[in-house]
C-alpha cells in the first residue's frame, strides 16, 4: 500500500514511524512532514495542505491507497470529505464529525442533547452580553471557564483568577480576535475539579476500540503552573483510574458518542478523543478532539504492538470488528523538550546535540526540528518528545529523564514532574 500522512508535528512523526514498520506498506509520503519523517518517508513540501484539489491530484498521481490526516484544521476544513468524494480511503472524520472539536458550541449542545455528562454552559456571540454575564457573576468568577468557540491550537481556554482577567480574556477573544474567527463565539462554562485524563479510541462509525488512557500535563511549568500549552508531557497508565471507571468511559462516553453521532447521520471514523475530568466516580467531558492528541500520540504509538496501518485501514473500511489490538502494558512516560519562552516568544535555530547518545530503547519524536547545513536545529516551540517505558512508572520516569539529560540546545526547557502529578 502507498500511504500519505498529512501534518508536520511530533504526532505525525510518531504515526509515520509506526506506519513505516508495517508489512502492508509499499511507499510512505508525508505532507509536509518534518526532519523526523524525512528519513522514513518522502516529504512533500510544495503543496499547501489547504489545497484539497492539489492533494487529490497528488493521491491519484502516486496511486496512494490511504490518507491519514493528523491535525485538526484540515479535518475541520473538510479534507476527508473531499477525499471521500473522490473514492479515496481516508483515516479521519468528515467536517461534520470534526465539529466536535472545531466548534465548542456545537460540541456542548451535542453533549446536552445526547445526555452525555458535561458542565453547565452558556454560549455568547455578542461581547456585551458576555461581559454582562461575568459582571453579574463577579463574586464567583473563579467558578467559571472561558473558551473560544473554534480551533485555537489548545490555547483558547482561560481559567480566570479574578474579574479583570475574565474581562481581558473576553476582550482578547471576541474583540482583539487573538484566535481569529475562532473567537466569533465564546463559551462560559462552570469550572469543575478532579483529575484529567485523555480517552482515545479508534472508531469506524459503528465500532469503537479504546486505547490506553493517558494523562497530559498542559501548563508550561512544574506543579501545573503557568500558561497552558499544547502539552508538556504525559504518561500512561494513570494508576488512579479504576478498571470500573475505564469500562464506564469506554461504554458510556466513547461508544455512546459514536452512536449519538450516527443518530445525527454523522458517520464518524478515525480517532475519537474526549478529554475527561474525573472526580471520584463522576465523569465529565471537558472537550472532544477529533484526532490523535499531541503529545499523547507519542506515548500511544510507543505502546502499540499491533500494525497501525492495518488498524487505520480497518477503520476506513468499517472493519474494526474484524481486528484485535495489542498494547505494551508497561508504564510509559513522554517529556516534551521546548524552546525557552514557549508558549510565548522564543528563539529558533539553536543547534541540537546529544541525540546519538540516547539509549536504543528510547523513542525520540521530532516536532519543531529542521535540518540546516547538516545540523539539526530548533524550529518551533515544542521541539521534540522523549519517550521511555519501564516495569513501573517510576522506572519509566527514571529512564526517560536520564535520556532527556543527554540532549542539549540553548535555552532548552522541560518539566521535571511528568508522571508525578
| pLDDT per residue of the chain (421 residues) written in tens, 0 to 9 | 999 999 999 999 999 999 999 999 999 999 999 999 999 999 999 999 999 999 999 999 999 999 999 999 999 999 999 999 999 999 999 999 999 999 999 999 999 999 999 999 999 999 999 999 999 999 999 999 999 999 987 778 889 999 999 999 999 999 999 999 999 999 999 999 999 999 999 999 999 999 999 999 999 999 999 988 889 999 999 999 999 999 999 999 999 999 999 999 999 999 999 999 999 999 999 999 999 999 999 999 999 999 999 999 999 999 999 999 999 999 999 999 999 999 999 999 999 999 999 999 999 999 999 999 999 999 999 999 999 999 999 999 999 999 999 999 999 999 999 999 7
Whether residues 8 and 48 share a domain: the answer is: yes
Domain, as residue range, for 147: 120-190
User: How confident is the model at residue 127, as a pLDDT?
Assistant: 96
Tell me whether residue 162 is in a domain.
Answer: yes
**Could you tell me if residue 172 is left (phi over 0), alpha (psi between -120 and 50 degrees) or otherwise beta?**
alpha
Residue finishing a domain among 190, 214, 239:
190
pTM: 0.95
Tell me whether residue 272 is in a domain.
Answer: no
Tell me whether residue 143 is in a domain.
Answer: yes
Whether residues 70 and 131 share a domain: the answer is: no
Residue finishing a domain among 94, 129, 159:
94
Q: In the numeric block, which cell numbers belong to residue 41?
A: 518517508
Total structural domains in the chain?
2
The CATH code of the domain that includes 61 is 3.40.50.20
Whether residues 84 and 124 share a domain: the answer is: no
User: How confident is the model at residue 237, as a pLDDT?
Assistant: 97
Name the helix (H) or strand (E) containing 146: strand 144-148
User: How confident is the model at residue 91, as a pLDDT?
Assistant: 98
User: How confident is the model at residue 359, as a pLDDT?
Assistant: 98
Whether residues 126 and 89 share a domain: the answer is: no
Query: What's the rounded Cα separation, in Å, for the pair 132 and 199?
Result: 36
Q: What would you report as the CA-atom Rg of the chain, rounded to the nearest whole angstrom?
A: 21
Q: 10 Å Cβ neighbour count for 63?
A: 10
Tell me whether residue 173 is in a domain.
Answer: yes
**CA distances, 355 to each of 205, 320, 362 (Å):** 41, 37, 11
Tell me whether residue 55 is in a domain.
Answer: yes
State whether residue 181 is helix, strand or coil.
Answer: helix
Whether residues 14 and 79 share a domain: the answer is: yes
Q: In the numeric block, which cell numbers belong to residue 341?
A: 519562552
Whether residues 6 and 90 share a domain: the answer is: yes
Whether residues 22 and 77 share a domain: the answer is: yes
Strand partners, 204: 269
Whether residues 84 and 159 share a domain: the answer is: no
Whether residues 126 and 185 share a domain: the answer is: yes
User: How confident is the model at residue 42, as a pLDDT?
Assistant: 98
Strand partners, 64: none
Q: Which residues contact 63 (CB under 8 A, 6 or more apart)?
A: 2
Strand partners, 91: 68
**Could you tell me if residue 289 is left (phi over 0), alpha (psi between -120 and 50 degrees) or otherwise beta?**
beta
Residue finishing a domain among 190, 210, 240:
190
Tell me whether residue 266 is in a domain.
Answer: no
Tell me whether residue 249 is in a domain.
Answer: no
Tell me whether residue 6 is in a domain.
Answer: yes
Cα-Cα-Cα-Cα torsion 151, 153, 154, 157, nearest 10 degrees, comes to: -60
Amino acid at each position: 500500500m502507498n500511504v500519505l500522512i498529512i501534518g508536520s508535528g511530533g504526532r505525525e512523526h510518531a504515526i509515520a514511524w509506526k506506519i513505516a514498520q508495517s508489512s502492508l506498506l509499499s511507499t510512505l509520503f508525508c505532507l509536509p512532514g518534518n526532519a523526523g519523517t524525512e528519513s522514513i518517508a518522502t516529504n512533500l513540501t510544495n503543496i499547501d495542505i489547504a489545497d484539497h484539489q492539489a492533494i487529490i491530484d497528488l493521491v491519484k498521481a502516486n496511486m496512494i491507497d490511504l490518507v491519514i490526516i493528523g491535525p485538526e484544521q484540515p479535518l475541520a476544513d473538510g479534507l476527508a470529505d473531499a477525499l471521500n468524494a473522490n473514492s479515496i480511503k481516508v483515516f479521519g472524520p468528515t467536517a461534520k464529525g470534526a465539529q466536535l472539536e472545531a466548534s465548542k458550541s456545537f460540541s456542548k449542545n451535542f453533549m446536552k442533547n445526547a445526555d452525555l455528562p458535561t458542565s453547565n454552559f452558556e454560549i455568547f456571540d455578542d461581547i456585551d452580553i458576555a461581559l454582562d454575564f461575568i459582571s453579574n457573576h463577579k463574586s464567583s468568577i473563579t467558578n467559571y471557564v472561558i473558551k473560544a468557540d473554534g480551533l485555537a491550537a489548545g490555547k483558547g481556554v482561560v481559567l480566570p483568577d479574578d474579574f479583570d482577567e475574565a474581562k481581558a480574556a473576553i476582550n482578547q477573544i471576541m474583540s482583539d480576535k487573538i484566535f481569529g474567527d475562532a473567537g466569533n463565539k465564546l463559551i462560559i462554562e462552570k469550572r469543575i475539579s478532579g483529575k484529567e485524563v485523555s480517552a482515545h479510541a479508534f472508531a469506524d462509525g459503528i465500532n469503537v476500540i479504546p486505547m490506553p488512557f493517558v494523562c497530559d500535563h498542559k501548563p508550561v511549568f512544574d506543579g501545573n503552573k503557568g500558561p497552558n500549552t499544547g502539552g508538556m508531557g504525559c504518561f500512561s497508565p494513570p494508576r488512579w483510574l479504576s478498571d470500573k471507571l475505564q469500562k464506564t468511559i469506554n461504554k458510556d462516553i466513547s461508544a455512546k458518542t459514536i452512536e449519538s453521532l450516527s443518530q445525527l447521520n454523522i458517520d464518524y471514523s478515525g480517532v475519537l478523543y474526549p478529554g475527561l475530568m474525573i472526580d471520584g466516580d463522576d465523569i465529565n467531558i471537558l472537550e472532544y478532539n477529533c484526532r490523535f492528541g499531541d503529545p499523547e500520540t507519542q506515548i500511544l504509538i510507543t505502546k502499540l504492538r499491533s500494525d497501525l496501518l492495518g488498524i487505520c485501514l480497518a477503520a476506513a473500511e468499517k472493519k474494526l470488528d474484524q481486528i484485535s489490538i495489542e498494547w505494551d502494558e508497561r508504564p510509559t512516560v513522554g517529556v516534551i523538550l521546548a524552546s525557552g519562552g514557549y508558549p510565548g516568544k522564543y528563539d529558533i535555530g539553536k543547534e541540537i546535540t546529544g541525540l546519538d547518545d540516547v539509549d536504543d530503547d528510547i523513542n525520540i519524536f521530532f516536532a519543531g526540528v529542521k535540518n540546516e547545513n547538516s545540523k539539526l536545529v530548533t524550529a518551533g516551540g515544542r521541539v521534540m518528545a522523549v519517550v521511555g517505558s519501564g516495569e513501573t512508572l517510576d522506572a519509566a520516569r527514571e529512564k526517560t529523564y536520564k535520556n532527556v539529560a543527554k540532549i542539549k540546545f540553548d535555552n532548552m526547557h522541560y518539566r521535571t514532574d511528568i508522571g508525578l502529578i
